[in-house]
């Protein structure tokens, strides 16, 4: 295996900036690159890396991802007046142009390709490219989100073409969704795109429906796009690690990539004004470390976002230090993932169960039913195992048959849990073979009427299928339905016509049915 870590950087990429007032764009400043590079130099990390020169991406490289029309349009920007640049910028979302940005964008994409070349030609084991402008938001024919050319997407296509790679993994740990990368590979099973991103149920930029967990890729590429939406801010180290352990890594090992590209944005770190997350810079040491056993260690990290200069510089150092082979520091306070992260995790795993065998046996039960429902099941079956916090199987030797044991469970478990859970309805279900005596049943009903302001629904002698439906299991298919009896259809239809003046949802045509009864 090759040794060494490449560092690819050129000061030229600091030589463009926002030339007018735009609050959305002012955070994308040249200092992002200078502080990151200075931190690497000051810590001695830069010296331990193999320094590789940048190059300009060629038209051919850029056309691997972008359209000719778009490339030609961007090519004109160095000659534009300030007014023309402002006007050109208006065609796109949250991005700005500058007379030197086309040059820098060619260097950013070219730096990424230099990194891929040095890793693929085994000059180094892995490496990082410090680049501006970032890439993951730019699309085939559009600049977007500070991005002009899609550095990582171009690199993936380039690596497939030049080195005949069968599978490339793109890990996008930037706090924004790299929709440009997603669009580029959504029907391509040779590129697995993973992204987590601040989403807040589509309230956060870029506010796309297709950033949610149920966008999994299309056609042959179904299952090869993995989106983890963060529906809350302040995600922490445990949330990030959980998603790596329970989604990305199992799938990545199953995918078995030939190369790993990281869209390494550090706006997912604490202090960032965009992300508003709480993960500490040392988590990036762990994220990096966890990827370094894939693809024989061929990991190329490419800078994307990151707008808190302190947090950014520290995170870059953690990443490079780990690429160099330093052991990762002990991660700060690891409690479990938060509720919102668990919800996202569950949704992503469910959405991908059908595509990845590592997720097939995961969360096999319909846990969602238990979110709104606290289920306590008293039986003599040891086999019932707890499905989640809100599912409490209680195994008594004689089930409900022994009065003392049963009352012990009711008073010691069911009542306190019921009071803490504070339900709005109590549903009591008695199975036919429960063995429960009438008097115990009467006590149970009486005790539970203290909950839910007395709203109690009692189901006696319930048949097995009723219980399974109440627990959220799918009903078996009814098979093909034949046509109903004509006299039944007639009776139902005439009733519907009689009732539809009073009940809007019974109406099926616009004619004279909107007339209200006076």
| Residues in contact with Zn ion by the rule CB under 5 A | 174, 176, 265, 267, 305
146 makes contact with ligand X5A (CB under 6 A): yes
Longest dimension (CA), the chain: 91
Nearer to ligand X5A, 223 or 265 (CB): 265
Task: Candidates 32, 176, 246, 289: give the one binding ligand X5A (CB under 6 A).
Answer: 176
CA-based nearest residue to 263, from 362, 421, 156: 156
Nearer to ligand X5A, 244 or 307 (CB): 307
Question: What is the residue-wise DSSP string for 208-243?
Answer: -GGGSTT----GGGTTSEEEEEE-SS---HHHHHHH
C-alpha–C-alpha distance, residues 290 and 237, integer Å: 14
Sign of CA dihedral 281, 283, 287, 288: positive
C-alpha–C-alpha distance, residues 83 and 60, integer Å: 30
The one of Zn ion, ligand X5A, none whose footprint includes residue 199, by CB under 5 to 8 A per kind, is none
C-alpha–C-alpha distance, residues 194 and 191, integer Å: 10
Nearest residue to Zn ion by CB is 305
Nearer to ligand X5A, 143 or 448 (CB): 143
174 makes contact with ligand X5A (CB under 6 A): yes
> How many other C-beta atoms lie within 10 A of the C-beta of residue 420?
8
265 makes contact with ligand X5A (CB under 6 A): yes
CA-based nearest residue to 52, from 106, 101, 110: 110
HSE (CB half, 13 Å, CA atoms) of 26?
Answer: 5
C-alpha–C-alpha distance, residues 216 and 90, integer Å: 31
Task: Report in angstroms how near the CB of residue 34 gets to ligand X5A at its nearest.
Answer: 17
- Check 66, 98, 136, 137 and give the catalytic one: 137
**Quick one: 416 exposed, middle or buried, by C-beta within 10 A (0-12, 13-18, 19+)?**
exposed
Task: Report in angstroms how near the CB of residue 266 gets to ligand X5A at its nearest.
Answer: 9
Apex CA 285: angle with CA 207 and CA 39, to 5°? Answer: 90
125 with 48: CB under 8 angstroms?
A: no
C-alpha–C-alpha distance, residues 163 and 510, integer Å: 63
The b-or-e profile of 222-261 (16+ CB within 10 A means b, else e) is ebbbbbbbbbbeebbbbbbbbbbebbbbbbbeebebbbbb
The one of Zn ion, ligand X5A, none whose footprint includes residue 205, by CB under 5 to 8 A per kind, is ligand X5A
The region of 143-151, 250-258, 276-284, 475-483 touching ligand X5A under the rule CB under 6 A is 143-151
SS3 state at 471: coil
The one of ligand X5A, Zn ion, none whose footprint includes residue 145, by CB under 5 to 8 A per kind, is ligand X5A
HSE (CB half, 13 Å, CA atoms) of 137?
Answer: 25
134 makes contact with ligand X5A (CB under 6 A): yes
304 makes contact with ligand X5A (CB under 6 A): yes
305 makes contact with ligand X5A (CB under 6 A): yes
Annotate each residue in 331-360 with x if it binds ligand X5A (CB under 6 A) or - if it does not, as one string.
------------------------------
Task: Candidates 4, 110, 127, 145: give the one binding ligand X5A (CB under 6 A).
Answer: 145
The one of ligand X5A, Zn ion, none whose footprint includes residue 390, by CB under 5 to 8 A per kind, is none
Annotate each residue in 204-243 with x if it binds ligand X5A (CB under 6 A) or - if it does not, as one string.
-x--------------------------------------
Nearer to Zn ion, 4 or 134 (CB): 134
The region of 139-147, 164-172, 192-200, 207-215 touching ligand X5A under the rule CB under 6 A is 139-147
C-alpha 140, offset from chain centre: 23
For ligand X5A (CB under 6 A), the number of binding residues is 15
Helices and strands in the chain: count of H runs, count of E runs: 18, 12
The one of Zn ion, ligand X5A, none whose footprint includes residue 137, by CB under 5 to 8 A per kind, is ligand X5A
Nearest residue to ligand X5A by CB is 305
Q: Is 361 a catalytic residue?
A: no
DSSP, res 414 = I
137 makes contact with ligand X5A (CB under 6 A): yes
Task: Report in angstroms how near the CB of residue 215 gets to Zn ion at its nearest.
Answer: 18
Task: Report in angstroms how near the CB of residue 24 gets to ligand X5A at its nearest.
Answer: 5
Nearer to Zn ion, 179 or 242 (CB): 179
Nearer to Zn ion, 106 or 176 (CB): 176
Annotate each residue in 64-103 with x if it binds ligand X5A (CB under 6 A) or - if it does not, as one string.
------------------------------x---------
**352: its two tokens:** 């991908």
Could you list the active site residues?
137
Residues in touch with ligand X5A (CB under 6 A): 24, 94, 134, 137, 145-147, 174, 176, 205, 265, 267, 274, 304-305
């Amino acid at each position: 295996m090759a040794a060494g870590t490449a560092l690819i950087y050129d000061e030229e990429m600091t030589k463009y900036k926002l030339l007018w007032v735009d609050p959305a764009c002012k955070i994308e400043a040249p200092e992002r690159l200078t502080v990151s590079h200075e931190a690497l130099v000051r810590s001695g990390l830069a010296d331990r890396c193999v320094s590789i020169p940048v190059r300009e991406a060629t038209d051919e490289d850029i056309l691997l991802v972008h359209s000719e029309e778009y490339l030609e349009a961007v090519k004109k920007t160095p000659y534009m007046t300030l007014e023309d640049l402002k006007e050109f910028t208006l065609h796109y979302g949250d991005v700005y142009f500058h007379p030197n940005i086309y040059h820098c964008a060619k260097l950013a994409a070219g730096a990424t390709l230099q990194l891929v070349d040095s890793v693929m030609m085994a000059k180094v084991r892995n490496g990082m490219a410090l680049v501006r402008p970032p890439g993951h938001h730019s699309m085939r024919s559009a600049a977007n989100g500070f991005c002009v050319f899609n550095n990582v997407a171009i690199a993936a296509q380039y690596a497939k073409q030049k080195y005949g790679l069968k599978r490339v993994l793109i890990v996008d740990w930037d706090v924004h969704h790299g929709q440009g990368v997603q669009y580029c590979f959504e029907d391509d099973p040779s590129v697995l795109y993973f992204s987590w991103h601040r989403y807040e149920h589509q309230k956060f930029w870029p506010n796309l429906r297709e950033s949610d967990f149920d966008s999994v890729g299309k056609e042959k590429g179904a299952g090869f796009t993995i989106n983890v939406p963060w529906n809350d801010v302040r995600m922490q180290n445990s949330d990030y690690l959980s998603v790596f352990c329970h989604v990305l890594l199992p799938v990545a090992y199953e995918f078995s990539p030939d190369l790993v590209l990281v869209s390494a944005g550090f706006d997912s770190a604490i202090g960032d004004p965009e992300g508003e997350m709480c993960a500490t810079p040392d988590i990036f040491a762990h994220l990096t470390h966890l990827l370094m056993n894939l693809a024989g260690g061929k990991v190329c990290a490419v800078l994307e976002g990151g707008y808190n200069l302190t947090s950014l510089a520290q995170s870059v150092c953690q990443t490079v230090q780990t690429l160099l082979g330093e052991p990762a520091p002990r991660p700060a306070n690891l409690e479990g993932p938060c509720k919102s992260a668990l919800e996202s995790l569950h949704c992503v795993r469910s959405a991908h169960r059908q595509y990845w065998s590592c997720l097939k046996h995961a969360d096999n039960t319909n846990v969602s039913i238990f979110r709104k429902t606290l289920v306590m099941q008293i039986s003599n079956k040891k086999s019932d195992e707890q499905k989640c916090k809100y599912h409490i199987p209680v195994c008594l030797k004689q089930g409900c048959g022994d009065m003392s044991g049963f009352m012990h469970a009711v008073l010691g478990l069911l009542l306190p849990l019921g009071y803490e859970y504070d339900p709005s309805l109590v549903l009591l279900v008695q199975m036919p073979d429960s063995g429960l005596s009438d008097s115990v049943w009467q006590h149970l009903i009486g005790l539970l009427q203290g909950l839910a302001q007395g709203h109690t629904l009692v189901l006696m002698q319930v048949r097995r299928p009723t219980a399974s439906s109440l627990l959220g299991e799918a009903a078996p298919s009814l098979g093909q339905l034949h046509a109903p009896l004509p006299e039944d259809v007639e009776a139902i239809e005439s009733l519907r016509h009689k009732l539809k003046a009073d009940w809007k949802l019974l109406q099926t045509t616009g004619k004279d049915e909107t007339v209200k009864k006076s």
